Structure 1
C-alpha cells in the first residue's frame, strides 16, 4: 500500500517543485503554495459530486469532466489568491494554477491507484499528472497576464485561457476514451510534448512581460554586470577604458574674401585677384 501511495503522490510533488523552481526571480511563499494545493485537493469532492450526475461515457469524460475540473481549479486560484498582494507578477498565475491542479491530481491519483494498482499508477504518472499541469497552466498564464492589463481587456484574456485549458483537457480525455492504446500513444508522443512546449513558452513570456518583477531584476543584473566588467556607457567593451578621443578637426584654410580662392599662410596678397588679404 505504501508503495502505491508513493507512486500516486511522488509525481505531483516532483512537478510542483519543477514549476516552483521556474519562478526563480521572486518565488511565492511556500505557505500560499501549500494552501492553494490543499484547496485543489479539496475541490475533488464537489467536482466528483457534479460528475456523478452524468452517466459514464464519452460525453461525461470528454465534456463534463474537463469543464467541471478546470473550472473548479480555476475558481480556487481566482477566488483564493488572484487578488492577494503576493500575486504580483505574471508568472504567479502559472505557479498557483500548478499548485491547484496538482492538489486535485494528488487526490485523484490516490483514488485511482488504490483501485487500479501499479499499472494505473504508472500510466497516470507519465500522462494524467503532467496533463493536469499543462491544462491549468493555460488559464494560469492567462490569469497572470490579465491581472496586469487594462481592466477592459482582463475578462477576455481570462475567458480565452480557461476555454483553452478546457479544450486541451477535452482532447486528452477524448483520445483516451475513444482510441484507448492509440490515444494513449498520441497523448504521450504528440499532445503532451506540444503542450509542454507551449507551457515553456508561456513561462518565458511571463518572465519577459514588462509587469514581471524579473524584467526589472534582469535590467539591474545587466547593469551590475556592466559595472563589474567595466563596460559602462562611454567605455570600450574590450578594455573598460575610455575610447580614444576623435582627432580635432583641422583648421580651415584661409581664402580670399574677394574671389574665394585659397591663399597660402603668410601671404599678404591673393595670387588670383591681387587683393590684399
Structure 2
C-alpha cells in the first residue's frame, strides 16, 4: 500500500510543484491549494458512481458516447463546477495565473484518487504509464480550464464565452484522449504520444501567457 501511494503521489507532487513555482509573483497560499486538491479528490466518488450506474443500465456505451459524455463531459464538468463554486470568488484568486494553479490542483486531486484505485486493482507495474498519460493529461486539462477561467475573471469582457471555453475545451480534449485509448487497439501509443506532446506545448504556452497577463495586472495595480 505504501508503494502504491508513493508511486501515485510522486508524479502529482512533481507536476504541482512545477505549476506552483512557475508563478512569477505572489505565490498562492498552500492551505487553499491543498483544500482545492482535496475537493478534486472527493469528486472521484460521485463521478464513479454515476459512471457505474450508466454502465449497469447499458447507457452511453458506444466508445464515442462513453469517451465524450461519460468521461469527458462528466469528469470535466464536475471539476469546472467545483472551481466556480469553491474558488472563483475567493479573495486569493487575484491573478490570471492563479486559475491555472487551482485548475491543476482540482484535476490532480481527481487524478490521484483515480490513479490509486487503478493501481490497487491492477498493480504497480502500470505506475509509470499512468504518470505519463492519465495523470499528466488531467493536469493539462486543468491548465486549460484554469487559463480560461482566469481570463474570464481578469482579462476580458467576454466572461461567459471564456467560462464556456473553460469547460468545453477540456471536455473535447478529454473525450479525444479516451477515444484514442478505446478505439485504436494496439496502435494507441502512436497516436497518444503526439497528442500528449501537443497538449504539453499548448499547456506551456498558456502558462507563459497567464504569467504575462498576471504581471501586467500586477503592474497596473501598483
The TM-score with structure 2 as length reference comes to 0.90
Contact 1:146 1:158 in 2 (8 A): yes
Count residues in correspondence: 215
CA contact (8 A) 2:147 2:210 kept: yes
Counterpart secondary structure, 2:154: coil
1:182-240 deviation digits (Å, cap 9, x = unpaired):
2133212x11111111111111111222xx2x236679xxxxxxxxxxxxxxxxxxxxx
- Alignment-derived partner of residue 163 in structure 2: 158
Unaligned runs of 5+ in 2: 56-60
Deviations 1:44-82 (A, max 9, x none): 011111111222551323431111111111111111011
Higher helix proportion: 2
Q: Deviations over 1:123-151 (max 9, x none)?
A: 11111100001112112100000102455
Matched with 2:58 is: none
Whether the 8 Å CA contact 2:43–2:78 is kept in 1: the answer is: yes
Measured against aligned partners, the alpha-carbon deviations of 1:64-118 in whole angstroms (never above 9, x if no partner) come to 1111111111111111011011101110111000000000000000000011112
Aligned partner (choices 113, 119, 125) of residue 131 of structure 2:
125
Asked if 2 retains the 8 angstrom alpha-carbon contact of 1:51 and 1:60, the reply is no
- Residue 216 of structure 2 is aligned to residue 215 of structure 1: yes
Find the counterpart in structure 1 of residue 205 from structure 2. 201
Aligned partner of 1:185 in structure 2 is 190
Q: Give me the whole-angstrom Cα distance separating, in 2, the residues matched to 1:82 and 1:134.
A: 19
Decide whether aligned partners of structure 1 residues 64 and 41 sit closer, same or farther in structure 2, where only a CA change above 3 A counts: same
**Shift of the alpha carbon at 1:12?**
1.0
CA distance in 1, matches of 2:176, 2:101: 23
Partners of 1:92 and 1:142 in 2: how far apart? 11
Conservation of the 8 A alpha-carbon contact between 2:67 and 2:176: no
Q: Which has the higher contact order (CA 8 A, sep 6+)?
A: 2
